[in-house]
Protein backbone atom coordinates (compact mmCIF):
# COMPACT_ATOMS: atom_id res chain seq x y z
CA UNK A 1 0.00 0.00 0.00
CA UNK A 2 1.05 3.60 -0.49
CA UNK A 3 2.63 5.11 2.59
CA UNK A 4 0.23 7.58 4.20
CA UNK A 5 1.93 10.94 4.63
CA UNK A 6 -0.56 13.74 4.93
CA UNK A 7 0.56 16.48 2.60
CA UNK A 8 -2.44 18.08 0.91
CA UNK A 9 -2.86 21.77 0.14
CA UNK A 10 -3.86 25.07 1.67
CA UNK A 11 -6.60 26.56 -0.45
CA UNK A 12 -8.92 29.59 -0.46
CA UNK A 13 -11.99 28.21 1.28
CA UNK A 14 -14.69 30.68 0.23
CA UNK A 15 -16.63 29.89 3.40
CA UNK A 16 -16.97 33.56 4.35
CA UNK A 17 -19.74 33.86 1.75
CA UNK A 18 -22.20 31.71 3.72
CA UNK A 19 -20.73 30.65 7.07
CA UNK A 20 -22.57 33.38 8.98
CA UNK A 21 -25.92 32.67 7.31
CA UNK A 22 -28.22 30.69 9.66
CA UNK A 23 -30.06 27.69 8.28
CA UNK A 24 -33.30 28.82 6.61
CA UNK A 25 -36.19 26.37 6.23
CA UNK A 26 -37.44 26.36 2.65
CA UNK A 27 -40.58 24.69 1.30
CA UNK A 28 -40.95 23.54 -2.31
CA UNK A 29 -43.26 25.06 -4.89
CA UNK A 30 -43.19 22.41 -7.62
CA UNK A 31 -43.05 18.64 -7.95
CA UNK A 32 -40.50 16.62 -5.99
CA UNK A 33 -38.25 14.04 -7.60
CA UNK A 34 -36.83 11.05 -5.72
CA UNK A 35 -34.13 9.19 -7.67
CA UNK A 36 -34.01 5.49 -6.76
CA UNK A 37 -30.22 5.69 -6.65
CA UNK A 38 -29.04 8.33 -4.19
CA UNK A 39 -26.68 6.10 -2.24
CA UNK A 40 -23.78 3.72 -2.81
CA UNK A 41 -24.80 0.26 -3.95
CA UNK A 42 -27.91 -0.98 -5.72
CA UNK A 43 -30.88 1.28 -6.58
CA UNK A 44 -33.88 1.06 -4.28
CA UNK A 45 -36.99 -0.79 -5.46
CA UNK A 46 -40.11 1.40 -5.85
CA UNK A 47 -43.10 0.61 -3.63
CA UNK A 48 -45.51 3.08 -5.24
CA UNK A 49 -47.03 3.58 -8.67
CA UNK A 50 -48.52 6.44 -10.62
CA UNK A 51 -51.68 7.73 -8.93
CA UNK A 52 -50.82 6.50 -5.43
CA UNK A 53 -51.30 8.85 -2.48
CA UNK A 54 -48.30 9.24 -0.17
CA UNK A 55 -47.55 10.83 3.21
CA UNK A 56 -44.53 12.54 4.78
CA UNK A 57 -42.41 9.78 6.27
CA UNK A 58 -43.79 7.04 4.03
CA UNK A 59 -41.31 4.57 2.55
CA UNK A 60 -41.75 4.94 -1.21
CA UNK A 61 -38.82 2.71 -2.23
CA UNK A 62 -37.07 -0.02 -0.28
CA UNK A 63 -33.48 -1.21 -0.10
CA UNK A 64 -32.91 -3.85 -2.76
CA UNK A 65 -30.02 -5.97 -1.54
CA UNK A 66 -27.45 -5.83 1.27
CA UNK A 67 -25.95 -2.53 0.10
CA UNK A 68 -28.89 -0.29 -0.71
CA UNK A 69 -31.11 2.18 1.15
CA UNK A 70 -34.78 3.01 1.67
CA UNK A 71 -36.17 6.24 0.24
CA UNK A 72 -38.72 8.19 2.26
CA UNK A 73 -41.19 10.77 1.00
CA UNK A 74 -40.59 14.29 2.34
CA UNK A 75 -44.06 15.55 1.32
CA UNK A 76 -47.62 14.33 1.06
CA UNK A 77 -49.26 14.20 -2.34
CA UNK A 78 -49.79 12.06 -5.41
CA UNK A 79 -47.29 9.98 -7.35
CA UNK A 80 -47.19 11.66 -10.73
CA UNK A 81 -44.79 9.29 -12.48
CA UNK A 82 -42.01 6.76 -12.12
CA UNK A 83 -39.55 7.71 -14.84
CA UNK A 84 -35.95 8.62 -15.58
CA UNK A 85 -34.86 12.08 -14.45
CA UNK A 86 -31.57 13.98 -14.57
CA UNK A 87 -29.61 14.01 -11.31
CA UNK A 88 -26.65 16.02 -9.98
CA UNK A 89 -24.34 13.14 -10.97
CA UNK A 90 -25.07 13.94 -14.62
CA UNK A 91 -26.90 10.63 -15.04
CA UNK A 92 -30.51 9.89 -15.91
CA UNK A 93 -31.86 7.81 -13.02
CA UNK A 94 -35.20 6.07 -12.54
CA UNK A 95 -37.11 8.35 -10.16
CA UNK A 96 -40.41 8.72 -8.32
CA UNK A 97 -42.07 12.06 -9.10
CA UNK A 98 -44.53 13.34 -6.49
CA UNK A 99 -47.01 16.20 -6.91
CA UNK A 100 -46.92 18.04 -3.58
CA UNK A 101 -50.35 18.76 -2.05
CA UNK A 102 -48.73 21.30 0.36
CA UNK A 103 -50.54 19.72 3.32
CA UNK A 104 -47.55 17.75 4.69
CA UNK A 105 -49.71 15.04 6.22
CA UNK A 106 -47.49 12.63 8.14
CA UNK A 107 -47.47 8.90 8.71
CA UNK A 108 -48.62 7.60 12.08
CA UNK A 109 -45.85 7.77 14.69
CA UNK A 110 -43.77 10.29 12.72
CA UNK A 111 -41.76 12.37 15.22
CA UNK A 112 -42.65 10.19 18.23
CA UNK A 113 -40.18 10.28 21.13
CA UNK A 114 -38.22 7.07 21.84
CA UNK A 115 -35.82 6.12 24.61
CA UNK A 116 -32.86 4.56 22.82
CA UNK A 117 -31.47 3.20 26.11
CA UNK A 118 -34.40 0.78 26.16
CA UNK A 119 -33.80 -0.35 22.58
CA UNK A 120 -31.66 -3.33 21.62
CA UNK A 121 -28.74 -2.96 19.20
CA UNK A 122 -30.81 -4.72 16.56
CA UNK A 123 -33.70 -2.30 17.08
CA UNK A 124 -31.38 0.72 16.77
CA UNK A 125 -29.82 -0.59 13.57
CA UNK A 126 -33.25 -1.41 12.16
CA UNK A 127 -34.45 2.14 12.97
CA UNK A 128 -31.46 3.56 11.07
CA UNK A 129 -32.15 1.27 8.12
CA UNK A 130 -35.87 2.09 8.01
CA UNK A 131 -35.06 5.80 8.10
CA UNK A 132 -33.04 5.48 4.88
CA UNK A 133 -29.91 7.06 6.36
CA UNK A 134 -26.73 7.06 4.28
CA UNK A 135 -23.42 8.87 4.57
CA UNK A 136 -24.35 12.54 4.15
CA UNK A 137 -20.79 13.67 3.55
CA UNK A 138 -21.19 12.73 -0.10
CA UNK A 139 -20.23 9.05 -0.28
CA UNK A 140 -23.76 7.84 0.42
CA UNK A 141 -22.79 4.47 1.92
CA UNK A 142 -25.82 2.99 3.74
CA UNK A 143 -25.34 3.77 7.44
CA UNK A 144 -27.04 0.64 8.77
CA UNK A 145 -24.43 -1.43 6.90
CA UNK A 146 -21.58 0.68 8.31
CA UNK A 147 -22.96 0.17 11.82
CA UNK A 148 -22.98 -3.62 11.42
CA UNK A 149 -19.32 -4.72 11.41
CA UNK A 150 -18.38 -8.36 11.87
CA UNK A 151 -17.42 -7.86 15.51
CA UNK A 152 -18.82 -4.98 17.60
CA UNK A 153 -16.23 -5.54 20.31
CA UNK A 154 -13.32 -4.77 17.98
CA UNK A 155 -14.57 -1.24 17.37
CA UNK A 156 -12.79 1.14 19.73
CA UNK A 157 -13.34 4.48 17.98
CA UNK A 158 -16.52 6.08 16.70
CA UNK A 159 -15.27 9.09 14.74
CA UNK A 160 -17.51 12.02 13.85
CA UNK A 161 -16.16 13.95 10.88
CA UNK A 162 -16.73 17.67 11.36
CA UNK A 163 -13.88 18.87 9.16
CA UNK A 164 -15.99 20.04 6.20
CA UNK A 165 -12.73 20.73 4.37
CA UNK A 166 -14.23 21.31 0.90
CA UNK A 167 -14.16 25.02 0.00
CA UNK A 168 -17.43 27.04 0.10
CA UNK A 169 -19.44 24.36 1.96
CA UNK A 170 -20.85 25.53 5.31
CA UNK A 171 -23.94 23.36 5.96
CA UNK A 172 -22.12 21.11 8.44
CA UNK A 173 -20.62 24.15 10.16
CA UNK A 174 -24.07 25.69 10.65
CA UNK A 175 -25.35 22.35 11.97
CA UNK A 176 -22.54 22.31 14.56
CA UNK A 177 -23.42 25.87 15.58
CA UNK A 178 -27.21 25.58 15.62
CA UNK A 179 -27.93 21.94 16.53
CA UNK A 180 -24.91 20.50 18.33
CA UNK A 181 -27.14 18.59 20.76
CA UNK A 182 -28.33 16.38 17.89
CA UNK A 183 -24.72 15.52 17.05
CA UNK A 184 -23.87 14.63 20.66
CA UNK A 185 -27.15 12.75 21.00
CA UNK A 186 -26.50 10.79 17.82
CA UNK A 187 -22.95 9.97 18.90
CA UNK A 188 -24.22 8.63 22.23
CA UNK A 189 -26.60 6.37 20.33
CA UNK A 190 -23.74 5.09 18.17
CA UNK A 191 -21.56 4.47 21.23
CA UNK A 192 -24.34 2.33 22.71
CA UNK A 193 -23.71 -0.09 19.82
CA UNK A 194 -20.01 -0.46 20.57
CA UNK A 195 -19.27 -0.96 24.27
CA UNK A 196 -15.49 -0.69 23.89
CA UNK A 197 -15.55 2.46 21.77
CA UNK A 198 -14.67 6.05 22.52
CA UNK A 199 -16.33 8.87 20.58
CA UNK A 200 -14.06 11.43 18.91
CA UNK A 201 -15.30 14.49 17.03
CA UNK A 202 -12.70 15.91 14.65
CA UNK A 203 -13.05 19.59 13.64
CA UNK A 204 -10.63 21.81 11.74
CA UNK A 205 -9.19 24.76 13.67
CA UNK A 206 -10.85 27.30 11.34
CA UNK A 207 -14.16 26.57 13.11
CA UNK A 208 -13.54 27.76 16.70
CA UNK A 209 -17.22 28.44 17.49
CA UNK A 210 -18.20 24.92 16.47
CA UNK A 211 -15.36 23.47 18.56
CA UNK A 212 -16.48 25.46 21.60
CA UNK A 213 -20.14 24.47 21.13
CA UNK A 214 -19.46 20.76 20.99
CA UNK A 215 -16.85 20.81 23.75
CA UNK A 216 -19.34 22.41 26.13
CA UNK A 217 -21.89 19.68 25.43
CA UNK A 218 -19.26 16.95 25.71
CA UNK A 219 -17.83 18.14 29.05
CA UNK A 220 -19.85 15.67 31.10
CA UNK A 221 -19.56 12.80 28.61
CA UNK A 222 -16.59 10.68 29.67
CA UNK A 223 -16.59 8.71 26.42
CA UNK A 224 -16.68 11.71 24.05
CA UNK A 225 -13.82 14.01 23.11
CA UNK A 226 -13.56 16.89 20.64
CA UNK A 227 -10.20 17.06 18.88
CA UNK A 228 -8.94 20.03 16.89
CA UNK A 229 -7.36 19.34 13.50
CA UNK A 230 -5.16 21.55 11.38
CA UNK A 231 -6.97 23.22 8.51
CA UNK A 232 -5.59 21.60 5.41
CA UNK A 233 -7.34 20.04 2.42
CA UNK A 234 -8.29 17.11 2.34
CA UNK A 235 -8.33 16.82 6.14
CA UNK A 236 -11.92 15.56 5.96
CA UNK A 237 -11.05 12.57 3.79
CA UNK A 238 -11.84 9.31 5.58
CA UNK A 239 -8.26 8.03 5.52
CA UNK A 240 -6.83 11.37 6.62
CA UNK A 241 -9.40 11.67 9.41
CA UNK A 242 -8.72 8.19 10.78
CA UNK A 243 -4.96 8.73 10.63
CA UNK A 244 -5.10 12.19 12.23
CA UNK A 245 -7.26 11.02 15.16
CA UNK A 246 -5.95 7.50 15.77
CA UNK A 247 -2.64 7.08 13.92
CA UNK A 248 -4.14 4.08 12.11
CA UNK A 249 -3.68 3.65 8.36
CA UNK A 250 -6.23 2.69 5.71
CA UNK A 251 -5.87 1.69 2.09
CA UNK A 252 -8.36 0.95 -0.67
CA UNK A 253 -8.70 -2.69 0.41
CA UNK A 254 -9.75 -1.79 3.95
CA UNK A 255 -12.77 -0.28 5.61
CA UNK A 256 -12.41 1.83 8.77
CA UNK A 257 -13.97 -1.07 10.72
CA UNK A 258 -10.94 -3.18 9.73
CA UNK A 259 -8.80 -0.87 11.89
CA UNK A 260 -11.34 -0.60 14.71
CA UNK A 261 -13.08 2.59 13.59
CA UNK A 262 -16.56 3.69 12.55
CA UNK A 263 -16.56 7.05 10.74
CA UNK A 264 -19.66 9.20 10.18
CA UNK A 265 -20.19 12.77 9.02
CA UNK A 266 -21.78 15.19 11.52
CA UNK A 267 -24.99 15.43 9.49
CA UNK A 268 -25.25 11.63 9.40
CA UNK A 269 -24.88 11.43 13.17
CA UNK A 270 -27.59 14.06 13.62
CA UNK A 271 -29.83 12.04 11.27
CA UNK A 272 -29.24 8.95 13.43
CA UNK A 273 -30.41 10.90 16.48
CA UNK A 274 -33.59 11.99 14.73
CA UNK A 275 -34.32 8.50 13.41
CA UNK A 276 -33.76 6.66 16.67
CA UNK A 277 -34.77 9.16 19.37
CA UNK A 278 -37.44 11.09 17.43
CA UNK A 279 -38.82 8.49 14.98
CA UNK A 280 -38.02 10.89 12.14
CA UNK A 281 -36.65 9.35 8.93
CA UNK A 282 -34.26 11.10 6.57
CA UNK A 283 -36.57 13.44 4.68
CA UNK A 284 -34.65 16.74 4.73
CA UNK A 285 -31.15 17.95 3.90
CA UNK A 286 -29.17 21.00 4.96
CA UNK A 287 -27.70 22.47 1.78
CA UNK A 288 -25.30 25.31 0.97
CA UNK A 289 -25.95 27.49 -2.11
CA UNK A 290 -22.87 29.63 -2.67
CA UNK A 291 -20.16 30.83 -5.02
CA UNK A 292 -19.31 34.24 -6.47
CA UNK A 293 -22.14 34.04 -9.02
CA UNK A 294 -24.86 33.60 -6.37
CA UNK A 295 -26.57 36.85 -5.32
CA UNK A 296 -27.16 35.88 -1.68
CA UNK A 297 -25.28 32.75 -0.59
CA UNK A 298 -27.32 30.79 1.95
CA UNK A 299 -27.71 27.61 3.98
CA UNK A 300 -31.11 25.99 3.55
CA UNK A 301 -32.96 23.08 5.14
CA UNK A 302 -35.08 21.59 2.39
CA UNK A 303 -37.08 18.44 1.65
CA UNK A 304 -35.23 15.72 -0.23
CA UNK A 305 -36.54 15.80 -3.81
CA UNK A 306 -36.88 19.59 -4.07
CA UNK A 307 -35.41 21.19 -7.20
CA UNK A 308 -32.11 23.05 -6.85
CA UNK A 309 -33.59 25.63 -9.24
CA UNK A 310 -35.91 26.70 -6.41
CA UNK A 311 -32.96 26.98 -4.02
CA UNK A 312 -31.09 29.22 -6.44
CA UNK A 313 -34.18 31.40 -6.75
CA UNK A 314 -34.44 31.65 -2.94
CA UNK A 315 -30.77 32.69 -2.82
CA UNK A 316 -31.55 35.68 -5.05
CA UNK A 317 -30.64 33.93 -8.29
CA UNK A 318 -27.40 34.51 -10.17
CA UNK A 319 -25.97 38.02 -10.00
CA UNK A 320 -24.23 37.24 -13.27
CA UNK A 321 -24.45 34.28 -15.63
CA UNK A 322 -22.23 31.54 -14.21
CA UNK A 323 -19.60 29.91 -16.38
CA UNK A 324 -19.61 26.91 -14.07
CA UNK A 325 -22.15 25.21 -11.82
CA UNK A 326 -20.89 22.55 -9.42
CA UNK A 327 -22.80 20.15 -7.19
CA UNK A 328 -20.74 19.31 -4.12
CA UNK A 329 -17.43 20.99 -3.42
CA UNK A 330 -15.24 22.53 -6.12
CA UNK A 331 -12.53 19.90 -5.53
CA UNK A 332 -14.55 16.67 -5.67
CA UNK A 333 -17.95 17.81 -6.93
CA UNK A 334 -19.63 17.36 -10.31
CA UNK A 335 -19.87 20.17 -12.88
CA UNK A 336 -23.28 20.33 -14.56
CA UNK A 337 -24.96 22.21 -17.41
CA UNK A 338 -28.32 22.31 -15.59
CA UNK A 339 -29.31 23.08 -12.02
CA UNK A 340 -32.92 21.92 -12.37
CA UNK A 341 -32.12 18.64 -10.61
CA UNK A 342 -33.38 17.29 -7.27
CA UNK A 343 -31.78 17.56 -3.86
CA UNK A 344 -30.69 14.06 -2.85
CA UNK A 345 -28.99 12.51 0.16
CA UNK A 346 -25.59 12.91 -1.49
CA UNK A 347 -25.85 16.53 -2.72
CA UNK A 348 -25.05 18.98 0.06
CA UNK A 349 -24.39 22.05 -2.07
CA UNK A 350 -24.73 23.96 -5.32
CA UNK A 351 -21.95 26.37 -6.26
CA UNK A 352 -22.12 28.94 -9.03
CA UNK A 353 -18.94 30.56 -10.34
CA UNK A 354 -18.62 33.59 -12.60
CA UNK A 355 -15.49 32.13 -14.22
CA UNK A 356 -14.59 28.52 -14.95
CA UNK A 357 -11.05 28.41 -13.61
CA UNK A 358 -10.60 24.84 -14.86
CA UNK A 359 -11.43 25.71 -18.48
CA UNK A 360 -7.78 26.02 -19.45
CA UNK A 361 -6.08 23.98 -22.16
CA UNK A 362 -3.73 21.24 -20.96
CA UNK A 363 -0.07 21.43 -21.83
CA UNK A 364 2.74 18.91 -21.59
CA UNK A 365 3.92 17.86 -18.14
CA UNK A 366 6.93 19.99 -17.11
CA UNK A 367 8.13 17.39 -14.56
CA UNK A 368 7.90 19.83 -11.66
CA UNK A 369 6.78 17.12 -9.24
CA UNK A 370 4.10 19.26 -7.58
CA UNK A 371 1.41 16.60 -8.02
CA UNK A 372 3.50 14.11 -6.02
CA UNK A 373 4.62 16.76 -3.55
CA UNK A 374 1.03 17.56 -2.54
CA UNK A 375 -0.62 14.14 -2.90
CA UNK A 376 -1.92 13.19 0.57
CA UNK A 377 -1.33 9.50 -0.24
CA UNK A 378 2.21 9.97 -1.60
CA UNK A 379 1.26 8.76 -5.08
CA UNK A 380 2.75 9.78 -8.45
CA UNK A 381 -0.31 11.23 -10.24
CA UNK A 382 1.44 12.10 -13.52
CA UNK A 383 2.77 8.57 -13.84
CA UNK A 384 -0.68 7.16 -13.12
CA UNK A 385 -2.19 9.45 -15.76
CA UNK A 386 0.31 8.33 -18.40
CA UNK A 387 -0.33 4.66 -17.59
CA UNK A 388 -4.07 5.29 -17.80
CA UNK A 389 -3.81 7.13 -21.13
CA UNK A 390 -1.77 4.22 -22.52
CA UNK A 391 -4.38 1.78 -21.17
CA UNK A 392 -1.72 -0.03 -19.13
CA UNK A 393 -4.12 -1.07 -16.41
CA UNK A 394 -1.84 -3.71 -14.92
CA UNK A 395 0.94 -1.20 -14.22
CA UNK A 396 -1.67 1.37 -13.12
CA UNK A 397 -2.68 -1.00 -10.32
CA UNK A 398 0.92 -1.94 -9.48
CA UNK A 399 1.69 1.77 -9.06
CA UNK A 400 -1.11 2.07 -6.48
CA UNK A 401 -3.59 3.75 -8.81
CA UNK A 402 -6.50 2.23 -6.90
CA UNK A 403 -5.33 4.06 -3.77
CA UNK A 404 -6.21 7.48 -5.21
CA UNK A 405 -8.94 9.10 -3.11
CA UNK A 406 -9.95 11.54 -5.87
CA UNK A 407 -9.34 14.61 -3.72
CA UNK A 408 -8.19 16.75 -6.67
CA UNK A 409 -5.04 18.15 -5.05
CA UNK A 410 -2.87 17.10 -7.99
CA UNK A 411 -5.05 18.77 -10.61
CA UNK A 412 -5.33 21.90 -8.48
CA UNK A 413 -1.55 22.44 -8.14
CA UNK A 414 -0.56 21.33 -11.65
CA UNK A 415 0.90 24.32 -13.58
CA UNK A 416 0.33 22.44 -16.87
CA UNK A 417 -3.37 22.03 -15.98
CA UNK A 418 -3.28 18.28 -16.59
CA UNK A 419 -6.60 16.52 -15.97
CA UNK A 420 -4.94 14.17 -13.51
CA UNK A 421 -7.79 13.50 -11.10
CA UNK A 422 -10.37 13.01 -13.84
CA UNK A 423 -8.22 10.52 -15.76
CA UNK A 424 -7.22 8.53 -12.68
CA UNK A 425 -10.79 8.40 -11.35
CA UNK A 426 -12.17 7.27 -14.71
CA UNK A 427 -9.54 4.53 -14.92
CA UNK A 428 -10.35 3.31 -11.41
CA UNK A 429 -14.01 3.07 -12.39
CA UNK A 430 -13.05 1.12 -15.51
CA UNK A 431 -11.02 -1.37 -13.46
CA UNK A 432 -13.75 -1.79 -10.85
CA UNK A 433 -16.35 -2.37 -13.57
CA UNK A 434 -14.22 -5.21 -15.00
CA UNK A 435 -13.88 -6.78 -11.55
CA UNK A 436 -17.65 -6.92 -11.16
The strand pairing partners of 287, in sequence order, are 300
On whether 365 is known to bind a ligand per the annotation, the reply is: yes
Spell out where 131-223 has E strands. Answer: 157-161, 198-204
Q: Coil, strand, or helix at residue 199?
A: strand
Nearest to 160 by CA among 129, 130, 191, 121: 191
Dist. CA 48–CA 137, nearest whole Å? 28
371 labelled as ligand-binding?
yes
User: CA 117 to CA 277: how far, in whole Å?
Assistant: 10
Angle, to 10 degrees, between the axis of helix 171-178 and the axis of helix 208-218?
40
User: Which are the contacts of 255, defined by CB distance < 8 A and separation ≥ 6?
Assistant: none
Residue 264, annotated as binding a ligand: no
Check whether 165 is labelled as a binding-site residue. no
Question: What H or E segment, with its residue span, contains residue 227?
Answer: strand 224-229
- Packing angle, helices 171-178 and 266-277, rounded to 10: 50
Determine whether the annotation assigns residue 410 to a binding site: yes
Instruction: Tell me the C-alpha distance between 306 and 88, whole Å.
Output: 12
* Annotated binding residue 375: yes
- The answer to whether 404 is a known ligand-binding residue is yes
List the alpha helices (DSSP H) in 90-164: 121-130, 143-146
**Intra-chain end-to-end CA distance of the chain, in Å:** 22
Q: Which residues are annotated as a binding site?
A: 365, 368, 371, 375, 404, 407, 410, 414
Q: Which residues are annotated as a binding site for [4Fe-4S] cluster?
A: 365, 368, 371, 375, 404, 407, 410, 414
Amino acid sequence: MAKLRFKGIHIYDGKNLSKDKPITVLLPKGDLVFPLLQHAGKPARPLVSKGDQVLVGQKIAEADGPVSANIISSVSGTVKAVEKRLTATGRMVESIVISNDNEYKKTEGYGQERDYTKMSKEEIREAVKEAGIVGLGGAGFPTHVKLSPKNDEKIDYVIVNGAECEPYLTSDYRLMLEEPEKIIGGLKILLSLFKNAKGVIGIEDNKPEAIENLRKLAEEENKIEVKVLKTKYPQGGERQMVYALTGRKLNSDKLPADVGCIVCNVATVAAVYLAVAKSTPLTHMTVTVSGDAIAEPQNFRVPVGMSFAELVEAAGGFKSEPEKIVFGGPMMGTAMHSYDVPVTKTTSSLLGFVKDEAAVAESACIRCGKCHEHCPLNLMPIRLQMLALNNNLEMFEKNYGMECCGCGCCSYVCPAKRSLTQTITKTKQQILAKRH
